[in-house]
């Protein structure tokens, strides 16, 4: 299971990386915004994407749309972890095809719960 973590704050990337390691996901990579993440994802090999929304160059919502528009990676599960808390934004992300949405600040339990739920749905 290879996971890409996308956030413009390196501190948040480290926190998520640590939490994922606690959950048993040791194979993670990092990108600091959508425009660096997209070529990595297109390069293949990723099974899961965790992305922030508010980032320079390419925002998380745009990254999500680009992923869904690419036939090779459009089924990639995407979990958004963001401080964006407007209802219209959550609806927007849902319409763009997000698999899960976590608002910051979040807990380790929430991250585990959402990842589990996404995998359950994919399996079921």
| Cβ distance to other proteins smaller for residue 18 or 27 | 18
Residue 56 Cα to chain centre, angstroms = 16
| Cβ distance to other proteins smaller for residue 46 or 52 | 52
Which chain residues interact with other proteins by CB under 8 A? Answer: 7, 9, 11-12, 14-15, 18, 22, 53-54, 59, 61, 82-91, 94, 101-108, 110
**Distance separating alpha carbons of residues 76 and 105, to the nearest angstrom:** 25
Contact (CB, 8 A) for 59 and 92: no
| Cβ distance to other proteins smaller for residue 21 or 42 | 21
Query: What is the nearest approach in angstroms of other proteins to the Cβ of residue 79?
Result: 12
Which DSSP category does 45 fall into? -
Query: What is the nearest approach in angstroms of other proteins to the Cβ of residue 46?
Result: 22
Among residues 61, 118, 68, the alpha carbon closest in space to that of 91 is found at: 61
Token readout for 15 is: 């926190």
Query: What is the nearest approach in angstroms of other proteins to the Cβ of residue 15?
Result: 6
Token readout for 53 is: 């929304």
Query: What is the nearest approach in angstroms of other proteins to the Cβ of residue 112?
Result: 12
């Amino acid at each position: 299971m290879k996971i890409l973590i996308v956030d413009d704050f390196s501190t948040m990337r480290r926190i998520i990386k640590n939490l994922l390691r606690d959950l048993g996901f040791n194979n993670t990579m990092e990108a600091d915004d959508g425009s660096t993440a997209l070529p990595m994802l297109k390069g293949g090999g990723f099974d899961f994407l965790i992305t922030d929304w508010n980032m320079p160059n390419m925002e998380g919502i745009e990254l999500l749309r680009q992923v869904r528009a690419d036939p090779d990676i459009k089924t990639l599960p995407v979990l958004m972890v963001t401080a964006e808390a407007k209802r219209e934004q959550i609806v927007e992300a849902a319409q763009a095809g997000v698999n899960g949405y976590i608002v910051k600040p979040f807990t380790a339990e929430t991250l585990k719960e959402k990842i589990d739920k996404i995998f359950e749905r994919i399996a079921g």
